[in-house]
Structure 1
Amino acid sequence: MIFTRPISFRSIIAGKYLAGVTLIVIALLPTLLYVFTIAQLGETVNNLDIGSTIGSYAGVMLLVLCYVAIGVFCSSITSNQIIAFLLSAVLCFIMYFGFEGFSTVIENDGLAFLGLKYHYESMARGVIDTRDVIYFLSIAVLFFALSELSLKIITQKQ
């Protein structure tokens, strides 16, 4: 039904993507209260490592961008919501843990660089490197583009 409207695929995907990102960001906002509480309750007040805290939050936000893009892609290739959820959970797991695990199996440390975990852990240390940011954004854009391509292929088959 949505394909009968004069709305571009990019607009449909962007709407779903922004809704998912907004929902998760709103869900994460209350966790900032914990940061303030921990800073105040420490042995020395305001002795919290702000660099790693900001890096962790920035990394989580970039992970959210990737995970939502993966979820939107998975929902674009199937009409069943349960299959889309399971597929996106598996893909997110593989993107986070899979490359590191596979790199230890074949004893190639360079393969771990392709995983989300490597780049997130770098940011969680408090080092916000442009290579990590570009990596996360490129993964999100890749899955966004794959979602658009998937919708185009599905509508051409109909």
Structure 2
Amino acid sequence: MLAVFKRELFSFLSSAMAYITIGIFLLACGLMFWFFPDTSILEYGYAEMDGFFSLVPYLFMFLISGIAMRSFAEERKEGTYVLLATRPLTDMQIILAKYLACMVLVLFSLLPTLVYYYSISQLGLPKGNIDTGAVIGSYVGLFLLGSAFTAIGIFASSITKNQIIAFAVAVFLCFFAYSGFDSVSRISALEGVSASLVNLGINEHYQSISRGVLDTRDLVYFITFVALFLGLTKLAIGGRKW
């Protein structure tokens, strides 16, 4: 499993696509956070990163879908998955190796944004006037959100040979999982189950963790969500092998 993880990670790092995708993500974060008037922290005037943490989930949908789209789709297209499947590894070990490789790249994408926290801390009056606890909670929430989106991206890549289709399916599923349940809950005919529908969406649990409070229910939700989509990926791969 470690060999597959290293192979997948080095394959990502040796391709220009990974650097381009991460570079576009960081560029978009920088432009929205510092330069665009509607979202700029300089225009906002308060030493907090709430605007940043509300924007990143939507950028994550494209970043993570772009990273994960090649996981299985490229293997199937080039026929190399047959060689991978002959190794003494279970389907779940292969899936976890690819999943963890994608998560390392997501973590690499988040680390440079810590510069924003330091910059705002220095710009605040007085210096250091920023709610560090809320920022830490929000970063934990982003990491968990990234884990959920990565599981969706891996699943989307496992059901098609075309990377573009995998990317489109992953973006749609990420968007629906994040904000689709909130939109559906506003339908008047579903008013009686609106609270349950909201709890099914990722946004509710992400916002809860972003307040700086780590609730066990939120952690269980993300773990269950990831396990569900990795299980669906295993079914997709196992069905083709059969």
Once the two structures are overlaid, the 10-residue window that deviates more, 1-10 or 93-102, is 1-10
Deviations 1:41-91 (A, max 9, x none): 101111111121011100000001100011101111111111111111100
Alignment of 1:33 with 2:115, yes or no, is yes
Aligned residues: 156
* 1:131 and 2:217 are equivalent in the alignment: yes
- Structure 2 equivalent of residue 110 of structure 1: 196
Q: Which residue of 1 aligns with 2:125?
A: 43
Letter in 1 for 2:141: G
Give the secondary-structure state (helix, strand or coil) at the position aligned to 2:92: helix
Match of 1:119 in 2: 205
Please give the alpha-carbon distance, in whole angstroms, between the structure 2 residues aligned to 1:54 and 1:97. Answer: 23
Moved over 6 A (4+): none
Counterpart selection for 2:231 from 123, 126, 145: 145
Tell me whether 1:71 sits opposite 2:153 in the alignment: yes
Residues 104-158 of structure 1: CA deviation (Å, up to 9, x unaligned): 11322331111000000111111111111110111011111111111111110xx
1:20 aligns with 2:102: yes
Task: Mark the runs of 5 or more structure 1 residues left unpaired by the alignment.
Answer: none
Identify which range, 10-19 or 54-63, moves more after superposition: 10-19
Structure 2 alignment gaps of length 5 or more: 1-81
Residue 91 (structure 1) aligned with residue 173 (structure 2):
yes
**3-state SS, counterpart of residue 98 of structure 1:** helix
Measure how far apart 1:6 and its partner are.
Answer: 3.1
TM-score by length of 2: 0.62
Within 2, Cα distance between the matches of 1:145 and 1:113? 21
Q: CA shift at 1:5, angstroms? A: 3.2
Counterpart for residue 89 of structure 2: 7
**More relative contact order in 1 or in 2 (CA 8 Å, sep 6+)?**
1
Q: Which residue of 2 aligns with 1:154?
A: 240
| Aligned AA (2:97) | G
Cα distance between partner residues in 2 of 1:111 and 1:14: 29
**C-alpha distance in structure 1 between counterparts of 2:210 and 2:86, whole Å:** 45
Percent sequence identity over aligned pairs:
46
SS in 2 for 1:75: helix
* Alignment root-mean-square deviation, CA: 1.1
Letter in 2 for 1:5: R
Q: Look up the SS of the partner of 2:186 in the other structure.
A: helix
